[in-house]
Amino acid sequence: MLLPREKRIVELLYKEQKPFTAVELASILQISSRTIKADIKKIKFELEATGCEILTKTGKGIWLEYNACGKRYLDGLTMNDDNSPSILPESRKYYIALELLNSPDFVSMESISEKLYVSKGTIMNDVNKLASFFNAFNLELNKAVKFGVKIDGSERQRRICKANVLRKIVVYQGNEVIEKLQPFFEIIDIRYISSLIQEAEDEFGFILSDTSYFNLLLHISIAIERIKQGNLCAYSKKDSFKYDDSSEWKLVDFFRKQLSQEYEVVLMKGDVDYIYMNVLGSKFQNKEIYNLNDLSIIRELSPKNFDTLLEIIREVDFIYGESLSDDNDFVKSLFIHINALFTRLMNSIYLENPLKMSIKKELAYEYEIGTYFSRLIERDYVYRLSDDDICDIALYVGASIKRKKAKKIRENPEVIIVCATGLSTSQFIEAKLKLSFPSLIIKDTIPLIRVEHYIKHNEVDLIISTVPIDLQLDHIVVISPMLNKSDIQMIQTQVQLITEPQKEQTGKYGALISYLSENITILSCDCRTSDEVIHYLGSRLQSEKYVDEGFITSVLKREDFSPTAIGDRFAIPHSFRGHVLKPGIAMMTLRKPIAWGKEKVQIVLMISLDPDSKESFKTIFAQLADLTKDFNLVTQLLECSHYKEIIKLLKTEGK
C-alpha cells in the first residue's frame, strides 16, 4: 500500500506527464533527494502488475508509463474516478463536510470514522478544522456530546457551501467532469443538466467560461437533488431578485421550465432566485453585449458601477501608466466581469481560477496591477477580493497590455508621405520607398498643411516627410526629396522599431542586477516566518536610506491583501505606492524554506521601487518571472555564500 507521500509522487508524475529529477521532486515535496530515491524504489514495487510503472534514467529523470489498465488504476489512485477520501489526507475534511451537509440531523463521529476508515480522533481533528470553513458560508457547527455534529443554517447557504466542497474534491478537467461529479448525485442524472446548459448557450447566444460552466452545473444539480429530497430554499424578500426582461431572466426561465418538466419538480420562488443568483454571478460572454462598441450602452447596465469603475481604472492608469481607460475592450470586459463578481461576493459564491499559480508567476506585473485594483475596489465597494479574483483582473490587464503592444508591432507598417514640392516628387519618393521597403503600406501622400487633420482621423505607423514637422509623435522621419542612403537607413531604423519588439541591451537579468547591492543582501538566513523576513529586510533597507519608516507597515498591508509568494520558492514583498527614497532590491536566501501564505519560500526579493518608475517596475517584474522558471539557477543561488557569487551567476546565466 502506498503511503500519502508516495501517492503524491505518483500523482505529480501522472498529472504533469513529464520527467522530474529527484532534486525537483525533493524541492516540491520539501524532503531530501535521498528520501525521494527510497520512495521511488518502494513505489516501483507497489506498482507491479497494475499496468503502470515508474522508470528512471540518468540524464532524463523519473517518469511514469502506463497502459489502459494502468490508467484506470492511476485515475482511481488520484481520485479522478475513485471517491475514496482515504487516498489524500488533505482532501478528507471535505468528504466529512459533505457528510455533514447532506444530513439534516446529527452525525456521530463513529459513523464517519467507520465510513472513511480512519480513527475517531482523526475525524474530530478534521471537524474542528472545518468550523471556520463553515462560518465563511454563514453556517454553524452544532456539537452535542451524545449525538455528534450537525450543520445549522439556511438551505441557500448549505447549497452554496456544498458546491464549494465539491469543487475542492473534484477538480475541473475538461470533458471528464460529468463522470467525476455523477457519483456525488445519487438520484439525478447530471448529464441532462450539462446538455441543458449547452443548449441554452446556443439558444441565447452566450459562451460560459469553463469555470462558470462547472459552477452552474454544480449549483443546478445540487438544487434539483435537494428539491427532490424535499429541501426547498425559503423565499426571502431581502434576498429576492426583481425579474425583468433581461437576457439573464430569459435564461433562468428557460432552465425553470425545462428542469421542472424533466425532473418532475416545482421550482418555488426561493429556488428560482437561487438559480437566478448563480446565472448573474457567472462568467460568460454575451455575444450581443461584447460586440457593442458604444460604452454608453454598456453603461446603462449599471451607471453607478460603471462610473465608479472607470474612475478606479483612471487611478490605476495614473500609477502604472498603462492607458487602460483608453482601451474600450478592457473597460467593457472588466465592467461586465466586476458586475458578475459583485453578485457572487454578495451571495458567498467563490470561483477558483485554475491558472492562479501560473498567473502569479508568469504575469507578476499584471498581478500587481490587479492587487492595486482590488485595493481600490475594497475602498469604494467594501468588497474584499480573493487571490482568484485578483488573478482574473490580472488576465484582463495582461490582455490589454498585449493588445497595445500588438498595435505597436506591425508586419506591414502603414505610412503617409508628406511632401511640399508637388506630385512628381511624391511619386518619385513613393516608387523608391516601394523598391526599398516592399512591406510598407503607403496609405496616402499629403501636403504639410493637412498632416494634423489627417492624423486626427486616421491611424498611421510612420510619417515620412520632406519637411520638418512640429508634432509630438513617435515615428517621424524627415528625408531629402531624393531619398538618399542615409534617409533609407533612418527609415530602416524606424521600421525595425515598429516591426520588432525592443530588446534589452543589459542581458537577461541586467535590470535586476542593477538594483541589487551587497549592503542589502543577506544570505543563508535563519528567519522562520514571513513577518520576521519582512521586518529584517525592511529594517536593512531603512537603515541604508532606501525607504522611509512607513515602508514596513505598507509592505505588511500589501501582504494582507494577497501574499507575494509567486511559487517556485520565491516571494517578492513590496509596499504600496510611496515610502521609497531610492530604488533598490534587498535579497535574502533562507537556510530552510518557510511558509508564505500557501507557498513555501526560500528566496526573498524585497522591492524598493515605486510604480511611478513605470518602465523599471515593469522590467523588474518581467525579469523576476524569467528567474523563477530557471530551476537550476535558483538551486545555484541558494548555494551562494557571498554577494559576488550571486552577481556572477546572474550575469553568466543571463547572457
In angstroms, rounded to a whole number, what is the distance separating the alpha carbons of residues 376 and 393? 13
User: pLDDT per residue over 55-74, tens digit each?
Assistant: 998 888 999 988 877 887 78
User: pLDDT per residue over 226-268, tens digit each?
Assistant: 999 999 988 776 666 666 667 788 888 999 999 999 999 989 9
- pLDDT at site 539: 94
Phi-psi region of 577 (alpha: psi -120 to 50; beta: other; left: phi over 0): beta
Q: For 48, which DSSP code?
A: T
- pLDDT at site 81: 39
pLDDT at 520 over 90: yes
- pLDDT at site 613: 66
In angstroms, rounded to a whole number, what is the distance separating the alpha carbons of residues 655 and 652? 6
Mean pLDDT of 221-225: 94
Cα Rg of the chain, angstroms: 30
The sign of the CA dihedral 61, 67, 69, 75 is positive
pLDDT at 206 over 70: yes
In angstroms, rounded to a whole number, what is the distance separating the alpha carbons of residues 377 and 384? 8
pLDDT at 196 over 90: yes
Task: Name the strand (E) or helix (H) holding 418.
Answer: strand 414-418
- pLDDT at site 254: 92
Q: What percentage of the chain carries pLDDT values higher than 90?
A: 23
Do the Cβ atoms of 577 and 319 come closer than 8 Å? Answer: yes
Mean pLDDT of 288-304: 74
In angstroms, rounded to a whole number, what is the distance separating the alpha carbons of residues 117 and 111? 10
548 confidence band (pLDDT: 50, 70, 90) = very high
Give helix 303-320 / helix 364-381 axis angle, nearest 10°. Answer: 140
- pLDDT at site 643: 92
Residue 556: exposed, middle, or buried by beta-carbon count in 10 A (0-12, 13-18, 19+)?
middle
Q: Highest-confidence range of 428-442, 556-570, 590-604, by mean pLDDT?
A: 590-604
- pLDDT at site 408: 61
pLDDT at 82 over 60: no
- pLDDT at site 354: 66
In angstroms, rounded to a whole number, what is the distance separating the alpha carbons of residues 196 and 639? 57
What would the DSSP string read from start to end of 53-109? EEEEETTTEEEEEE-HHHHHHHHHHTTSS---TTS-HHHHHHHHHHHHHH-SS-B-H
Greater pLDDT, 448 or 585: 585
Of 126-130, 291-295, 443-447, minimum mean pLDDT range: 291-295
Which domains, ranges and CATH numbers included, belong to the chain? 4-77 (1.10.10.10), 154-291 (1.10.1790), 296-343+350-407 (1.10.1790.10), 414-499 (3.40.50.2300), 510-653 (3.40.930.10)
Mean pLDDT of 445-461: 79
292 confidence band (pLDDT: 50, 70, 90) = low
- Residue 605: phi and psi, rounded to 5, are -120, 105
- pLDDT at site 629: 78
User: pLDDT per residue over 391-425, tens digit each?
Assistant: 889 888 988 888 777 666 666 788 888 886 666 67
- Mean pLDDT rounded to a whole number for the chain: 83
Of 178-187, 222-231, 355-364, 422-431, minimum mean pLDDT range: 422-431
**The pTM of the whole model exceeds 0.75:** no
Task: Return the C-alpha cell found at 137.
Answer: 458560508
Q: Which residues pair with 580 in a beta bridge?
A: 547
Task: Compute the C-alpha angle 427/433/434, nearest 5°.
Answer: 90
Mean pLDDT of 165-183: 74
Q: Highest-confidence range of 170-184, 193-207, 215-229, 281-295, by mean pLDDT?
A: 215-229
List, in sequence order, the alpha helices (H) in 78-189: 89-102, 109-116, 120-135, 155-169, 177-181
- pLDDT at site 84: 43
pLDDT at 85 over 50: no
Mean pLDDT of 195-209: 83
